Structure 1
């Protein structure tokens, strides 16, 4: 795929958030190399964000909770498992609201989830350095925010993605 075609595909995907959003100007993989889930947890107007553990890919970066989908696992099951593993919270998946593919070929499924009881996260010592509640604007402006999360949040802010 040449650079001009690739840039046009990215632009179209970003203008239409219901399409897959490719977050890289590099050649896109023919098919995803792995699969992951992202958990959108809200408390009023605030989003639950984490700072990824230093030993992980994108260590130290801020993002929504989430992680890989295991072989044979449904996305809705994976998002529940990841919330429990990373933050010791039990959630129920509500809606898949977006799909994207990372620059390294991971297909992500973005889910709104709701805690089953009051949300008192406990950070996993390896996977999560810290967690915090941020407004939409504060999360978008965070200097350590993963680029894919920023694209998602910009679509939320513009009304392109409904939560």
Structure 2
């Protein structure tokens, strides 16, 4: 999707508050400055989490895999590309389940994805320090979890987001 299409998508989602998350109204940017995707990969009741590479923004923090959407790229294509780049996993995008905007203005599209074959991640040496499988409660309680991931998981736990 191009930035204009993503922007329209974000503004349409604003009419459905359960689909959007902002740290606070005063932090909400008038227009997103960039776009990203988040991949929700599950094996049974476990979620695939990564520890971000130290050289990246939020280095050392724990989160779902994901990254930026390149110019002209569809969100569904970006989530497939990011899973392959970060973890050498080939996935098929299933559903966009949530949208959020970070405090620094990145509009995120959250996708459930399914590996095309048994999931055997291989961490990209710069982007991912490590990966692990965590239950919902263990991921929520992780001391290094990115705040936006915490909000998402709390919505999942409460039933506000269906996976």
Q: Given the two structures, how large is their TM-score scaled by the length of structure 2?
A: 0.89
Number of aligned residues: 163
Quick check: 1:26–1:103 contact (8 Å CA) kept in 2? no
Range with bigger deviation, 149-158 or 9-18: 9-18
* Superposition misfits of 4+ residues, deviation over 6 angstroms: 1-16
CA–CA distance in 2 between the matches of 1:21 and 1:94? 21
**1:75 to 2:75 alignment:** yes
Q: Given the two structures, how large is their TM-score scaled by the length of structure 1?
A: 0.89
User: Residue 18 of structure 1: SS of its match in structure 2?
Assistant: helix
CA shift for structure 1 position 26 = 4.8
CA shift for structure 1 position 19 = 3.5
Q: Structure 2: any 5+ residue segments left out of the alignment?
A: none
Range with bigger deviation, 7-16 or 90-99: 7-16
Change (3 A) 1:9 1:103: farther
CA shift for structure 1 position 72 = 0.2
Change (3 A) 1:141 1:8: farther
Q: Structure 1: any 5+ residue segments left out of the alignment?
A: none
Change (3 A) 1:97 1:12: closer
Change (3 A) 1:143 1:123: same
User: Residue 51 of structure 1: SS of its match in structure 2?
Assistant: strand
User: Residue 73 of structure 1: SS of its match in structure 2?
Assistant: coil
Range with bigger deviation, 11-20 or 65-74: 11-20
